[in-house]
């Protein structure tokens, strides 16, 4: 299913463009680029009405340079082998860019989840897990799935339960999947992690006055006009944090249509309206746009595609008015569109960096599962007590004692959620800086995506350096 125009070919084009700017041996570059293994399965499932349906599914492991491999599982009627291979490759580069010690993988089940009952989805998920286990495509040290398009903590809880039932007594079994509910070994802050990471990434990009000036924009998020495509977990949380930071949501797009209001849309009210009516259309004071994709072409500063791949392509790229395209989704911009945007001076903040918050917090969850200890549990109270002693001494020395309320606030020790958010913010800031400095090393002739790919290639190449199998 790999074609020149397929998704996987698009990813390879981005890779090749960056690879040409490195001095690694061609054999090594090829090894990094190729997908290591793809498992294609079909299995029968009994529907609630007694009929039998054949389900098609995949798991692609792109790179074993680090183990386990890592990446989500998507449930979509559009899933195919080319797509999971491309998404698995993106996971490899993404993990390298944010220094998360995993190879890349991705799974997919070709179903429209809205056409299946909860019980049917559970049967499909459990059977899929069984099939993965049978071929050694899942395990805390092998390959660790996570939520993706069409899946959530509910599916992850079925996966971990099936895995634990089948393996029985494996000490690190909880680390076989991430994005789990908290009660089943999940971590606080995972649900919003990708969207929050998107926000941190955009904030970093917008903070640099020099870069903003080149785009004719003021630094900062406050007042920036933003369009978000996709209000799933990633799009919703990205929009939420951007709005909280003062951005104006001038349009929101979903598959049923889009709405726009140059004065700004209140995200929570739009979500409540959608919950009530089943659609974002008809929101008070907003204009309805029946052809959802048209919304991408409206006037704005930042366009955040947070839905599926190939939303910005050679058909619409030249019509975009955004100065910044912030890729919250995986592969939303085709390689041709990327060139068009680059020529017209649009800043593209690439997916391999921008949506890496999800896998970063998955890494924290996996590490928590392996350590069998919640982050912050050992030191939180100790930290609080030490700080309180300093504050009390300070109050005594200055004869201006702090109130109990102030003491409480100022001595607050970090709990799991605080640490997760802090680790995520640090990761995104460092990765942005690395990407920007690589761009600068190439005299700003290259774009951020290519810079991110160069960083990924260099980091992966190091893992092969001492093997002696490449020149
Ligand atoms: N599905 C998410 C992604 O595409 C998260 C993957 C993970 O946490 O392993 O990055």
Whether residues 197 and 178 share a domain: the answer is: no
Structural domains in the chain (count): 3
Query: Does residue 288 lie within any of the structural domains?
Result: yes
Say yes or no: CB of residue 113 within 6 Å of ligand 1: no
Last residue of a domain, one of 314, 337, 354: 354
Query: Does residue 302 lie within any of the structural domains?
Result: yes
Query: Does residue 254 lie within any of the structural domains?
Result: yes
Query: Does residue 4 lie within any of the structural domains?
Result: no
What confidence score (pLDDT) does residue 5 get? 76
Say yes or no: CB of residue 14 within 6 Å of ligand 1: no
Mutating to test ligand 1, I would choose from 63, 71, 159 the residue with most ligand atoms within 8 A of its C-beta, which is 71
- CA of 298 from ligand 1 middle (Å) equals 29
Whether residues 240 and 207 share a domain: the answer is: yes
Say yes or no: CB of residue 178 within 6 Å of ligand 1: yes
Please give the Cα distance from 239 to 399 (Å, whole number): 46
Whether residues 304 and 390 share a domain: the answer is: no
Say yes or no: CB of residue 85 within 6 Å of ligand 1: no
Whether residues 201 and 252 share a domain: the answer is: yes
pLDDT digit string (tens) for 38-63?
A: 999 999 999 999 999 999 999 999 99
Q: Which residue, judged by its Cα, is nearest atom 9 of ligand 1?
A: 71
Say yes or no: CB of residue 352 within 6 Å of ligand 1: no
Please give the Cα distance from 329 to 350 (Å, whole number): 9
Look at the block and give the residue holding tokens 């799933």. 232
* HSE-up of residue 399 (Cα within 13 Å, Cβ side): 0
Last residue of a domain, one of 413, 435, 464: 413
What confidence score (pLDDT) does residue 76 get? 97
Q: Which residues in the chain come in under a pLDDT of 50?
A: 1-2
Look at the block and give the residue holding tokens 């071929």. 135
Buried b (16+ CB within 10 A) or exposed e, 337-371: bbbbbbeeebbbbbbbbbbbbbbbbbbbbbebbee
What confidence score (pLDDT) does residue 320 get? 98
Question: For residue 140, what is the domain's CATH number?
Answer: 3.40.50.10860
Give me the helices (H) in 208-287, please. 209-214, 233-244, 267-277
Whether residues 127 and 198 share a domain: the answer is: no
Whether residues 269 and 298 share a domain: the answer is: yes
Whether residues 162 and 298 share a domain: the answer is: no
What confidence score (pLDDT) does residue 445 get? 67
Dihedral, 271, 273, 278, 282 alpha carbons, nearest 10: -120
DSSP sequence for 71-97: --EEE-TT--HHHHHHHHHHHHHHHHH
Query: Does residue 453 lie within any of the structural domains?
Result: no
Query: Residue 90 CA: which ligand 1 atom is closest?
Result: 4
Say yes or no: CB of residue 31 within 6 Å of ligand 1: no
Say yes or no: CB of residue 71 within 6 Å of ligand 1: yes
List 74's β-bridge partners, or say none.
108
Whether residues 224 and 348 share a domain: the answer is: yes
- CA of 465 from ligand 1 middle (Å) equals 27
pLDDT digit string (tens) for 356-369?
A: 999 999 999 999 99
* Sequence-ordered list of residues with C-beta below 8 angstroms from that of 102, at least 6 positions apart, any chain: 66, 67, 68, 69, 70, 91, 95, 144, 359, 363
What confidence score (pLDDT) does residue 444 get? 61
The parent domain of residue 386 ranges over 380-413
Query: Residue 70 CA: which ligand 1 atom is closest?
Result: 9
Q: Which among 106, 180, 240, 323 is annotated as catalytic?
A: 106
Please give the Cα distance from 90 to 104 (Å, whole number): 7
- CA of 469 from ligand 1 middle (Å) equals 31
- CA of 146 from ligand 1 middle (Å) equals 6
Nearest alpha-carbon partner for 101 in 428, 308, 359: 359
User: Quick one: tokens of 182?
Assistant: 């908290």
Catalytic residue status for 106: yes
Query: Does residue 21 lie within any of the structural domains?
Result: no
Question: For residue 274, what is the domain's CATH number?
Answer: 3.40.50.720
Query: Does residue 448 lie within any of the structural domains?
Result: no
Whether residues 225 and 176 share a domain: the answer is: no
């Amino acid at each position: 299913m790999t074609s020149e125009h397929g998704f996987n070919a698009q990813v390879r084009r981005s890779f090749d463009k960056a690879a040409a700017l490195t001095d690694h041996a061609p054999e090594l570059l090829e090894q990094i680029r190729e997908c290591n293994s793809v498992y294609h399965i079909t299995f029968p499932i009994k529907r609630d009405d007694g009929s039998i349906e054949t389900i098609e599914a995949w798991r692609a492991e792109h790179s074993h340079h680090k183990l386990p491999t890592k990446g989500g599982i998507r449930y979509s009627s559009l899933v195919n082998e080319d797509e999971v291979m491309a998404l698995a490759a993106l996971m490899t580069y993404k993990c390298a860019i944010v220094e998360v010690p995993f190879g890349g993988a991705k799974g997919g089940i070709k179903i429209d989840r809205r056409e299946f009952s909860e019980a049917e989805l559970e049967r499909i998920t459990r059977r899929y897990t069984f099939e993965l286990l049978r071929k050694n495509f899942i395990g805390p040290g092998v390959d660790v799935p996570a939520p993706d398009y069409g899946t959530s903590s509910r599916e992850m809880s079925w996966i971990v339960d099936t895995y634990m039932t089948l393996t029985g007594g494996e000490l690190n079994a909880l680390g076989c999947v991430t994005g789990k509910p908290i009660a089943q070994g999940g971590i606080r802050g995972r649900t919003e992690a990708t969207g929050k990471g998107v926000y941190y990434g955009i904030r970093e990009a917008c903070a640099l006055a020099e870069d903003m000036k080149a785009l004719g924009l003021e630094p900062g998020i406050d007042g920036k006009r933003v369009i978000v495509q996709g209000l799933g977990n990633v799009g919703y949380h990205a929009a939420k944090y951007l709005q909280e930071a003062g951005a104006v949501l001038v349009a929101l797009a979903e598959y049923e249509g889009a709405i726009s209001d140059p004065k700004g849309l209140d995200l929570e009210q739009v979500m409540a309206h959608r919950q009530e009516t089943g659609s974002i259309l008809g929101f008070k004071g907003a204009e309805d746009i029946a052809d959802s994709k048209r919304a991408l072409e409206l006037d704005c500063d930042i366009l955040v595609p947070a839905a599926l791949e190939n939303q910005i392509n050679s058909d619409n790229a030249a019509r975009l008015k955004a100065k910044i395209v912030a890729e919250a989704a995986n592969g939303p911009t085709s390689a041709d569109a990327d060139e068009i945007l680059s020529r017209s001076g649009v800043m593209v903040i690439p997916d391999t960096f921008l949506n890496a918050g999800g896998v970063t917090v998955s890494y924290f969850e996996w590490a928590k599962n392996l350590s069998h200890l919640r982050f912050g549990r050992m030191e939180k109270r100790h930290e609080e007590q030490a700080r309180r002693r300093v504050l009390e001494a300070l109050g005594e020395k200055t004869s201006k004692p702090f109130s109990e309320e102030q003491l409480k606030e100022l001595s607050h020790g970090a709990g799991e959620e605080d640490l997760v958010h802090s680790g995520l913010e640090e990761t995104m800031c460092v990765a942005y800086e690395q990407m920007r400095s690589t761009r600068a090393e190439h005299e700003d002739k290259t774009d951020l995506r290519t810079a991110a790919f160069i960083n990924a290639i260099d980091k992966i190449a190091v893992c092969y350096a001492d093997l002696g199998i490449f020149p």
